[in-house]
Structure 1
Amino acid sequence: VGEGHCKIWFELPYNGKCTSRLDIPISKGGLMPSCNGKTDGIYRFDHSSALQYAMDYGDYFHIGRVCDAYYKCLGGNITVVKCENGTVFHIDSGTCKPGNSSLPNSCQLYCNPQKTNVHPFPVNVAECPYPLQFSETTGRCENFTEVTCGTRKEEKYICNYWESLFYNRHGGNCDTRNIRDCLYLPNGVHRDPRRSPSSFIRCYGNRLVEEGKCTIDSVWGTQTFIYNGTCTQRFAIPTSGADYGLLPSCSAKPDGNYQFRTRPCDAYYRCEGGRATSVKCPEHTLFDVTRRTCASNVACYRA
C-alpha cells in the first residue's frame, strides 16, 4: 500500500514503526545491548553506533553513544534512558545532567552537551585541542600539566589525537607536517631536524609545546643557532660542537686572547685552562694585536 523511509537518520523500521536504534536490540540491527549475564546496574552504550554504509558516519571510531544515553539492567531486563537536550551522562552519579563529564578511556575526550554534531564522533562527544586534556576537577580542557588523567589514556603526539586521525584517514600528511621527536627527547629546546639549524622545537612532558626560529643576536649582529638548549650566536659555539660554530678550540693554546680568523677586529676569544670564551669589543673599540685586548684609536688588521 506504500513505501518510504524513516525521516530521522538514527531510526529504523522496527515492529511496524520507525524506532530509535537505541531501542532496537543489537541482534536486530540496533544498538540496544542485552542484560543477559550482567549484574544489576547502570551502563554506558559502548557498542559502535556507526552507519557502515555511510563511511562510519556518526561514530567513525566505533566508541558508541557514550554521552547522550545509558541503560539500566535490573533482573536481566533492560531500560534505555536517552539524555535530554543540554545534558550528558555522568557516570559518577549514574544520571544525565548539565555540564561536561569525562570518558573513562581517554584523557582528551569528554562529554559536552553543547556539541551536537555527529561527525566524526557520536553526539555530545568532544575532544580537547592538542595538547590540552580534560580535567575532571574543573570540567574543562586544561593545560596537560594541570590535569591528572589517572587511568585515562594520555596521547602525547598530535597525530594521535582523534580529530587528526580522522582528517588524515586517507593517507594524509600529519606526520610530515608535525614532529614526533618530543616523544623521545628530554624537556627543553632542541634543534628542529626538519628545518634549518636556526629553527628549534621546545619539548615538555614528551609533547611538542613550541616551534620557533632563533633570532639575530643584537650585540654580535649575527644569526643565532641552537646550542646546549638555547639560541646562541655562532662565535660562542665551538667549531667542534656544530658545523655552524665559529669558536676555535683552545686545547693546544696557552692562556691568552686571540683573534677570530673570520672576525679579527671587533671581537676576540679568550683561552683559559684550555677553555675558549668569545668576547665582543665594546662600541668604538677594536682588538689591539699588540696589547691583545680591545682598545680605542687603534688600526684594525689581522696579525
Structure 2
Amino acid sequence: MCVEDKVDGDCNFMKCVHGMFIKMPGCPAGQRHQKYPDFACVLIEDPDACVPDGSSIPLTQPKCTEDKVNEISCTFMKCVHGNFIAMPGCPNTLRHRKDGDFACVSLDHPDVCVPAGGLTTDKIITDPDPCKSNPCLNGGNCIGSLPPQQTYMCVCNSAYSGQNCEIGNACLNRPCLNGGSCTGTSDGYICHCLQNVNGFSYHGPNCELKSQSLSKVCADLPCRNGGTCHASTTGFSCTCYSGFTGQFCELSSSAITDQCQTSSSSRIADAEECQRFYDCSLVYTIYVPLHFKQHLDECIYPQMFNDITNKCDNFTNVNCGSRKVFVDGCDYSRNKPVPGHSEPCTIAYPSCRNKDDGLYEHPNKQMTPNYIKCFMERMMGIYQCGEDQYGVKKYFYKGICTSQYQIPKPEGGRLIDCVSLGDGYYPDDGITKRYITCINNVATVHDCNYPLEFSPVYKACMFL
C-alpha cells in the first residue's frame, strides 16, 4: 500500500491512488521528472532531474559557466549562479540558433537547432493542459500529463466512478426497496419512494417502511373538539380550533400549564409553528429567552416536531398540518440574532429558498472554500473544500471545489493571464518559494527547492 507519490528507479512518475501506484505518462524528449518535490518535468541538465539506476549521467551536474542551447530539446538554457535555468522558447515557427547569440531564427536557417526526432510542422499544440476543461465531474480530481501525450485521469471520490466520475456508485447496489428509484449525490444517494400503490405507500431512507393509504388513516376520527384530521405516510396530524392544542386537540391553551403541573415529562406540539413545542421539563427560572415563553422549546434547524412521536424529527417525516412551516434557518426563533450582539443569521444559516437540490457557493463568503448543501429548500450544512496538490485551499467555483491556480486572478483566483503578460517567469503572490512560468500562453506552477526562494529580479530560485 502506498501513501504518497514517487519517482521510481527508471525515473517513471508513480501516482499513489487509493493505496496503489499508477504509472503516469512520461516527460517529453530531453526531459525527466524532478526527484522532488512536485516531480515536474525538467531538462536532463537540471540538477534536480531524476537519474535512472545505472545511468552514466553523473548524480551531481557540473556548474555552468555560460549559456547554451540544449542539443536534444533545443531549449535555451540560461546560466545563473552556476545552474542552468530553462528559458521561454521561441514562437512556434522559429527555433534557437545552435551557437552565437542563440537568437530565434527560421526553421530553414543554416544554424538552426534541430531537436531530437527532427523538425516538424505538424499541428501546433496551443493548450497542453488536458485538465483545463475540468473533465472530471462531481468533485473528481484531474491528473494530466504534458505534451506530447496530453492524456488525463480522473481520481473520483468514493461516491462516484467512471472515466469522468459520472457514475454514482451508491446506487449500483440498488439500496432503494419496494420499487423506489435511486439518485446518486455527493454524500451518497436519495431514494424516491412509491406512493399509493394497492392501498399502501412507502417511505424511509430506503423506502423500507410501509403505511396504509391516506384515506384510511383518519377513518377513526382521532381529532377531538372539532379538530380536522390530516393524513400522511407517517400517520396524521390535527388542526385544532382556537383555544385548543395537543396531538389530538385534547388540551385547552390554559391546560398546558395545568398539564405541566401534573406531569413534568409531557411534550405538547405548538399549535402555530411546526418546529416549536412545549416541554414541561423545561422551566425558565431567571428569565424567558427572547421570542420564547414558559416551557416553550424549539427543534434544531431543519428538524420539525413530530406530534406522533412527540420528538424532534427529520422534516421529511413530519406532517405539520396547519402549523406554519419554515424552510429558512433564520426563521427559527433560536437562530434570530440578538440586536447589537451577534453577526447576521445568514452567515450561519444561508437561505436555500427557491434553489434546486445540490451544492452552492456560500452567498456570504464568495470566492472562498465555503459552500452549502441544499435539499428541499433547506440548508443542510456548510462545508469547506480541501487543499490542492500545492497545499493551497481550493475555492468553490462554478459548482465544484477548484484549485485557485485554475481560477483567473480577476475572479479571485491565482491563475495569471499569460496572454497579456507574455512568456516569462512570474512570482506567485504571497508565496515566496513558488513561481509561475508562461510558455506559449500556458501557465505552469513550480516550487523552488527548500530553502531557496524565487527572485522576481533574477527570475530564478536563490538564497534570499
TM-score (normalizing by structure 1) = 0.46
TM-score (normalizing by structure 2) = 0.32
